[in-house]
Structure 1
Amino acid sequence: MKELLTIDDICVSYGNIKALQHVSMHVNEGDIVCLIGANGSGKSTLLKAIVGQEPLVGGCITFDGEEICRAKAEFVKGEKRGRHLTTDLIAAKGIALVPEGRRVFADMTVEENLDMGAFLVRDENIIAERKEAMYDFFPILGARRRQKTRSLSGGEQQMMAIARALMSGPRLILLDEPGLGLAPLVIADIFEKIDMINKQDKVTVFLVEQNARMALKASTEGYVMENGKIVLHDVSSALLENEQVRAAYLGE
């Protein structure tokens, strides 16, 4: 399997607080990989680091064989190595983030939000085609394309946030707590869409989710984070049976 995203020994700090401590992990192309852990364990910080929103103080991040973030520049054989691409350039490489809490533009319409997701796309025909594809994929968005986003339910806003991210045509989509604050039936619908995005659209998925059972059932591989460190990594089916995971995250 080809590693699409490689995170190598990264560290992130907020002053004296070590948010991420020597985190290493990978996401293979075509997979759904999940990261579970308690609130405040560093999951969202990791996603922000991947897209260049949090600077590294150690390690590096590689996407499709190209280094996109490094803690500091180094000279190797007289050549300067290491850089930190800006968030827009990382997005242009094919990474899209759906942030925690959705972060939709509430006073814009659904269609205007989707247009914002395509800000890197220059071809108007491609933008139009992708919007229609999103309306087909999320029919409720098509029915409400002219409505202000603030009028949508939480689940509908989450669908719109995912659709907005897909407008850039990503190879890798990062999902931060897509089930947060939603009813169980709505969460099930969202996760069904995530599976379709992966299998039908061939988009690799890195899923951060506090609902550990749902995340592990939806993914192929899983990581467990505690206090900014990766403490477990295995195939998701094995983590579902792991006594430590069952006791700490599955309520058993």
Structure 2
Amino acid sequence: MSELLSIDDISVSYGNIKALQNVSMHVNQGDIVCLIGANGSGKSTLLKAIVGQEPLVNGSITFDGEEICKTRNTLEGKGKKRNKLMTTDVIVSRGIALVPEGRRVFADMTVEENLDMGAFLVRDDKLIAERKESMYDFFPILGARRRQKTRSLSGGEQQMMAIARALMSAPRMILLDEPGLGLAPLVIADIFGKIDLINKQDNVTVFLVEQNARMALKASTEGYVMENGKIVLNDKSSALLANEKVRAAYLGE
């Protein structure tokens, strides 16, 4: 299976704080890959770096064979580096979409207006309309509430809308940051069912960051474990589920 996303030795710092330290990983086309770890371990920072929202101190990120983010020497002074990366809108146009932690919906806009925002790079009105109808078919509750303000939706409905908004750009890869955060177990199960369908039916590669380690590992084919900004484990998800250290640290066993 071909490699779609390659992260090579990247680091990200916030002042003197090293948020990511020499992280390397890959995501193959068509897979669901998960990243688990404690709060503050650097998971969200990694997703932001992939879409160009965080500058790299070192390393590079490649998507479908094209370098979308890297560091290089500049004329600012010997040994100094500056991040050279595509802007987020360009990265989205290449086929990556991010569903951020906490959903980040436009609360005073309707469901339909939020979906329109997800298609901001699409210039074909007919195509936008077709994609919205497809989202309403996939998430029927959104179709029933398309004229409602997003603030009136439940947390689970807002999460569905955030995913649908990301899918409006027809991505080849979707990055999901804590899709189960703050939701009831039955709602989380429904969301993860939709994620599986997006992967299998629409052939969208999924990179999933999730604190519910058991559910993330069960939903994915390969998993990574992050601690203090470093990747400390990588294996098939089934193997990580059976790993004694993972079970003790993240599965409560």
The answer to whether the Cα contact below 8 Å between 1:51 and 1:95 also exists between their aligned partners in 2 is: yes
In the TM superposition, residue 166 of structure 1 has moved relative to its aligned partner by 0.1
* Counterpart amino acid of residue 139 in structure 1: P
Partner of 2:156: 155
In the TM superposition, residue 233 of structure 1 has moved relative to its aligned partner by 0.2
Structure 2: distance between partners of 1:4 and 1:67: 11
Partner of 2:200: 199
Structure 2: distance between partners of 1:71 and 1:21: 14
Partner of 1:30: 30
1:113 maps onto 2:97 in alignment: no
* Counterpart amino acid of residue 216 in structure 1: L
Structure 2: distance between partners of 1:73 and 1:203: 35
1:243 maps onto 2:252 in alignment: no
Identity of aligned residues (%): 87
Q: Which runs of 5+ in 1 are unaligned?
A: 75-81
Structure 2: distance between partners of 1:72 and 1:14: 19
In the TM superposition, residue 24 of structure 1 has moved relative to its aligned partner by 0.1
1:123 maps onto 2:124 in alignment: yes
Runs of 4+ in structure 1 displaced over 4 angstroms? none
**SS at structure 2 position matched to 1:11:** strand
**SS at structure 1 position matched to 2:202:** coil
Q: Which runs of 5+ in 2 are unaligned?
A: 75-82
TM-score, with normalisation over the residues of structure 2? 0.96
Structure 2: distance between partners of 1:73 and 1:83: 10
In the TM superposition, residue 109 of structure 1 has moved relative to its aligned partner by 0.1
In the TM superposition, residue 71 of structure 1 has moved relative to its aligned partner by 1.8
Partner of 1:40: 40
- Give the alignment of 1:137-176 within 5 angstroms: 137-176=138-177
* Counterpart amino acid of residue 87 in structure 1: T
How large is the RMSD of aligned CA atoms in angstroms?
1.1
Structure 1: distance between partners of 2:12 and 2:195: 29
In the TM superposition, residue 72 of structure 1 has moved relative to its aligned partner by 2.1
In the TM superposition, residue 83 of structure 1 has moved relative to its aligned partner by 3.3
In the TM superposition, residue 32 of structure 1 has moved relative to its aligned partner by 0.2
Partner of 1:133: 134
Structure 1: distance between partners of 2:73 and 2:33: 30
In the alignment of these two chains, the number of paired residues is: 246
The answer to whether the Cα contact below 8 Å between 1:96 and 1:174 also exists between their aligned partners in 2 is: yes
**SS at structure 2 position matched to 1:145:** coil
In the TM superposition, residue 150 of structure 1 has moved relative to its aligned partner by 0.1
The answer to whether the Cα contact below 8 Å between 1:57 and 1:72 also exists between their aligned partners in 2 is: no
